[in-house]
């Protein structure tokens, strides 16, 4: 993999070097694009703005509205999968911010024959040039019939992360609506992948069905509309993948140096919310985000995007939850405190990344 990574750009550059003016333009263009993303500055909300922004997140509502409907058998092509898709579409469709939700449906060969997979893509403002992407996989792992009688819920894998994304959209509905109305350059996009899990055994072709397809689709879709040298992948400022979240005290380390500053930012948010007393069962100021903790490479839905040059922040705990890929990965073993705390941290991260300031009731003249 490392060889391919470095060999391809060098080969491409050797052709371009023969035509210096093209080489210069392409390099300049790429540098500009990279700089815009690398130098992106997030806002830092005041304590009043933070309290106002996080006033609407509600774990009980999330549990009831978003998590429970996801805790069903939902491997590709099942009735549960269709119900979950419908739930995600209905939830986002009911919000005032006005999400544009599209489907990426396709058929792929699996060890059990051809199957239909469906990714869901929700974009706050499809006309915006740049996107902060939050992603999860909504499919559950398939267990063959000898396990009949037992149901694999995949609560951390990844019902909880998907429910957290829906809760973010619901809790920040007004803030996102206001942000969208200012026609910003940068918007929010939510990706719900199908077919992350291997149907039989993890291989390059039996895994990541949805993300492999969507990365390819996005790469071949010009963006902004009509562009001839940029596509939807170029529009991704940062791709945040959430997986295996919901067990007690997760620890997130740094996999990619290109995005470690955003992990540092999450740690900073964790510290700020801790000092404001907004986190529960959170004894030390840092429990979750460890930008100086190097962690190994993990195969997951980010890989097809990473291989195409997208910047990735992979929020997957090290170690994995002890219940991973067992029938104990169920609702009973979810840790409410860490889910609630992470909801707040990730919601604030999204708002600050987008530079979306809520109305501070103490200081209404600061309204956007
Ligand atoms: Zn899994």
Query: Given 3-state DSSP classes, what are the helix, strand and coil percentages for the chain, each rounded to the nearest 5?
Result: 45, 15, 40
314 C-alpha to center of ligand 1: Å? 15
Confidence of residue 38 (pLDDT cuts 50, 70, 90): low
Report the pLDDT value the prediction gives residue 35, as an integer from 0 to 100.
Answer: 45
Active site annotation includes 243: yes
Which residues fall within 8 angstroms of residue 24, CB to CB, at 6 or more apart? none
What is the DSSP code (8-state) at residue 321?
P
194 C-alpha to center of ligand 1: Å? 12
Both tokens assigned to 71: 């805790």
284 C-alpha to center of ligand 1: Å? 30
Q: What are phi and psi of 246, to 5 degrees?
A: 140, -10
85 C-alpha to center of ligand 1: Å? 18
Counting DSSP H helices and E strands in the chain, the numbers are: 11, 8
244 C-alpha to center of ligand 1: Å? 8
User: How many Cα atoms occupy the beta-carbon half-sphere of 63 within 13 Å?
Assistant: 12
Summarised one tens digit per residue, pLDDT across range 168-210 is 999 999 999 999 999 889 999 999 999 999 999 999 999 999 9
Both tokens assigned to 359: 């109305």
Mean pLDDT of the chain: 89
Summarised one tens digit per residue, pLDDT across range 224-255 is 999 999 999 999 999 999 999 999 999 999 99
Region 4-14 average pLDDT: 31
With 0-12 / 13-18 / 19 or more C-beta atoms within 10 angstroms meaning exposed / middle / buried, residue 330 is middle
176 C-alpha to center of ligand 1: Å? 31
The length of the chain is: 368
Confidence of residue 316 (pLDDT cuts 50, 70, 90): very high
367 C-alpha to center of ligand 1: Å? 42
Summarised one tens digit per residue, pLDDT across range 254-271 is 999 999 999 999 999 999
Q: Which of 175, 194, 196, 237 is catalytic?
A: 196
pLDDT above 90 for 21? no
- Spell out where the chain has E strands: 100-110, 113-123, 130-137, 186-193, 236-242, 252-254, 289-294, 312-315
157 C-alpha to center of ligand 1: Å? 5
149 C-alpha to center of ligand 1: Å? 20
Confidence of residue 36 (pLDDT cuts 50, 70, 90): low
Report the pLDDT value the prediction gives residue 150, as an integer from 0 to 100.
Answer: 81
DSSP character string of 296-311: ----STTHHHHTTT--
Paired strand residues for 312: 239
Order of strands across the sheet with 100-110? 100-110, 113-123, 186-193, 130-137, 236-242, 312-315
Active site annotation includes 196: yes
Report the pLDDT value the prediction gives residue 364, as an integer from 0 to 100.
Answer: 57
Q: Which of 139, 175, 237, 243 is catalytic?
A: 243
Report the pLDDT value the prediction gives residue 103, as an integer from 0 to 100.
Answer: 98
Report the pLDDT value the prediction gives residue 25, as an integer from 0 to 100.
Answer: 41
Q: How far is CA 321 from the centre of its chain?
A: 19
174 C-alpha to center of ligand 1: Å? 33
Both tokens assigned to 127: 């006309």
243 C-alpha to center of ligand 1: Å? 9
Report the pLDDT value the prediction gives residue 268, as an integer from 0 to 100.
Answer: 98
Contact 212, 302 (CB under 8 A): no
325 C-alpha to center of ligand 1: Å? 6
191 C-alpha to center of ligand 1: Å? 17
């Amino acid at each position: 993999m490392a060889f391919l990574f470095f060999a391809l750009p060098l080969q491409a550059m050797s052709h371009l070097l023969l035509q210096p003016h093209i080489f210069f333009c392409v390099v300049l263009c790429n540098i500009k694009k990279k700089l815009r993303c690398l130098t992106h500055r997030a806002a830092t909300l005041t304590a009043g703005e933070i309290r106002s922004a996080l006033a609407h997140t509600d774990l009980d509502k999330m549990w009831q509205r978003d998590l429970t409907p996801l805790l069903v058998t939902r491997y590709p092509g099942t009735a549960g999968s269709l119900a979950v898709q419908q739930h995600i579409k209905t939830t986002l469709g009911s919000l005032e911010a006005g999400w544009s939700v599209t489907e990426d449906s396709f058929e792929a060969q699996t060890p059990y024959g051809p199957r239909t997979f469906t990714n869901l893509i929700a974009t706050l403002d499809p006309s915006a040039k740049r996107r902060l992407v939050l992603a999860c996989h909504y499919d559950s792992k398939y267990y063959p019939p000898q396990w009949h009688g037992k149901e694999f819920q995949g609560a951390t894998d990844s019902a909880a992360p998907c429910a957290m994304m829906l809760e973010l959209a619901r809790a920040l509905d007004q803030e996102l609506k206001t942000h969208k109305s200012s026609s910003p350059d940068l918007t929010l996009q939510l990706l719900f992948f199908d077919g992350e899990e291997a149907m039989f055994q993890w291989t390059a072709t039996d895994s990541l069905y949805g993300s492999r397809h969507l990365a390819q689709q996005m790469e071949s879709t010009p963006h902004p509309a009509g562009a001839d040298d940029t596509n939807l992948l170029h529009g991704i400022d940062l791709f945040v993948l959430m997986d295996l979240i919901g067990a007690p005290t997760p620890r997130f380390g740094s996999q990619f140096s290109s995005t470690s500053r955003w992990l540092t930012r999450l740690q900073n948010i964790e510290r700020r919310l801790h000092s404001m007393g907004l986190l529960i069962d959170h004894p030390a100021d840092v429990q979750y985000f460890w930008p100086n903790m190097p962690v190994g490479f993990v195969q997951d839905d980010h890989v097809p995007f990473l291989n195409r040059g997208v910047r990735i922040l992979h929020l997957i705990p090290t170690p994995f939850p002890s219940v991973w890929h067992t029938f104990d990965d169920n609702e009973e073993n979810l840790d409410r405190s860490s889910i609630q705390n992470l909801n707040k941290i990730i919601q604030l991260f999204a708002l600050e990344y987008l530079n979306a300031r809520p109305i501070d009731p103490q200081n209404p003249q600061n309204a956007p």
